[in-house]
Amino acid sequence: MLLYFPMNYGRKLDPTPIQGNIDVTNLVDEYFLSYNAARLREACHLFAGKILKPDVTVGLALSGALTPAGLGYAALVPLVEAGFIDWIVSTGANLYHDTHRSLGFELYQTTPFVDDMKLRDDKIIRIYDIVFDQEVLLESDAFLRKTLEAPEFQKRMGTAELHYHLGKYVRAREKMFGVNYRSLLGVCYESGVPIYTSSPGDSTIGMNVAAMKFAGGKTEFDVEKDVNETTAIVYGAKAKGGKSAVIILGGGSPKNFVLQTEPQIQEIMGIDEKGHDYFIQITDARPDTGGLSGATPSEAVTWGKVDPEQLPDAIVCYTDSTIALPIMTSYSLANSEKRELRNLYDQRDNLVEELGKAYKEAQGI
C-alpha cells in the first residue's frame, strides 16, 4: 500500500544513480539529501542564493588549521577575489602558516599515524597529517621579524592595519620570487578586505611582536580599535539599508568576535538593531557541552546576535570545515555572479565615525 504525503511535507527522496562525470551543483542539489549533507546543501543554497546578493555585507570567521592544508589559496582566495567575502576574523595561526608557501617553502601530506619522536629527532613539525621542516618556521619567523621592523609597524594599531601591511610585504615577496602562490594576507591586501584577529597574542605573529619588544620594537595591538571597526562594518551595512551575513568555519574566539558586533551595537551602545540577517556555521562542536563553538543560532537570538525574524536563514552544518569549504566555494562560484569589491579596509575610519555619531545620539551625549 502506497502512502501519500502532501507536498508541503518536503521533497520526495527519489535519487538516481550517481554518474562519474557529475558536477558540484548536481552533486549537491541532487544527492546531498538528508542529515548533514542536506544541511550543507541548504548552506550552499543560502550562500549562493541570498547571501551573495549585492546589498549583503559578508563576514567570515576562520578557525582551525585550514591554511596549512592549502585551503587558503585553494578555497578562500577565490572567494575573496570574487567579492564574496568582505571582512574576516581569523586566528593568527591561519595567517602565519599561510605565508610559508609565499616564501617558497613546502608542506607535505602524510599519515597522522607517524612516530612523533622520530619526527622530533628529524626536526619535522606535524599538524595532524601535514608535515614540514622546522626550518620553515625559523625562516618564516625571520621574514616576519624583518618585516615588523619597517616604519609603518612602529606604533599602536588595530590588527586589520597590521595584517594589511604584512599582506603588502608578503605579496611583494611572492611577485619578486615568482612564487606560484597567493596568500590570504596578500590577496586581502590587494582586495581591500580587512582581516582581524580576535586574540592577537595567541599566534606566532603575536609571539614575534612580543619578542621584538625586548629589541625596542614599538608595535602594539589596539584591541579596542578592532572592536569598534568590526562593529562599525556591521552597523554601516545595516544603517544603509543593507544586510549582514556571517559565515563561521569552526568556532572559538573568531566565532564570538564576528557575532559580538550585534550585541555591541544593541546592548553596549544602545543603538536600535535586531541582529545579523544570515548565519552559516560549519562545526563539529555540540551545544550541550557548554562550549561557545557549538552554540546554536536560536541561542544566539537571545543575545541579539541573530535577527529572530531571519532564523530560517540560519544554518548549522555539523561537519568538518575541510569538507564543507571546498564544496561551498565551488558551488558559489558556479552559481553566483562575481560581486564588486567593497574595499572596506579604506572605509574603516568613516564607518567608525558614523558608528560614534549613532552611539552619541543613542546615549544623548
- What's the predicted TM-score (pTM) here? 0.93
Where do we find the cell 578557525? 63
Residue 348 near residue 232, CB atoms below 8 Å: yes
Catalytic pick from 225, 238, 243, 305? 305
Domain that holds residue 227: 49-363
Q: How many domains does the chain have?
A: 1
CATH number of 151's domain: 3.40.910.10
Classify residue 75 as exposed, middle or buried by CB count within 10 Å of its CB (0-12, 13-18, 19+): buried
pLDDT at 64: 84
CA-to-CA distance for 122 and 220, rounded, in angstroms?
A: 36
DSSP-derived secondary structure letter, 19: P
Is residue 50 annotated as part of the catalytic site, yes or no?
no
- Is 241 inside a domain boundary? yes
- Is 265 inside a domain boundary? yes
Q: Which of 63, 92, 89 is nearest to 209 (CA)?
A: 92
- Is 8 inside a domain boundary? no
Residue 254 is placed in which grid cell?
573568531
CA-to-CA distance for 295 and 281, rounded, in angstroms?
A: 10
CA-to-CA distance for 194 and 67, rounded, in angstroms?
A: 17
Within 8 A by CB and 6+ apart from 260, the residues are 227, 305
- Is 146 inside a domain boundary? yes
- Is 10 inside a domain boundary? no
CA-to-CA distance for 101 and 185, rounded, in angstroms?
A: 12
- Is 335 inside a domain boundary? yes
Local confidence pLDDT in tens for the 365 residues of the chain: 455 555 566 777 888 999 999 999 999 999 999 999 999 999 999 999 999 999 999 999 999 889 999 999 999 999 999 999 999 999 999 999 999 999 999 999 999 999 999 999 999 999 999 999 999 999 999 999 999 999 999 999 999 999 999 999 999 999 998 988 999 999 999 999 999 999 999 999 999 999 999 999 999 999 999 999 999 999 999 998 999 999 999 988 999 999 999 999 999 999 998 888 999 999 988 777 776 665 676 776 776 766 666 667 889 999 999 999 999 999 999 999 999 999 999 999 999 999 999 999 999 98
pLDDT at 294: 58
Classify residue 74 as exposed, middle or buried by CB count within 10 Å of its CB (0-12, 13-18, 19+): middle
- Is 358 inside a domain boundary? yes
pLDDT at 252: 86
pLDDT at 160: 98
Where do we find the cell 567570515? 60
pLDDT at 1: 44
Residue 311 near residue 297, CB atoms below 8 Å: yes
CA-to-CA distance for 324 and 85, rounded, in angstroms?
A: 16
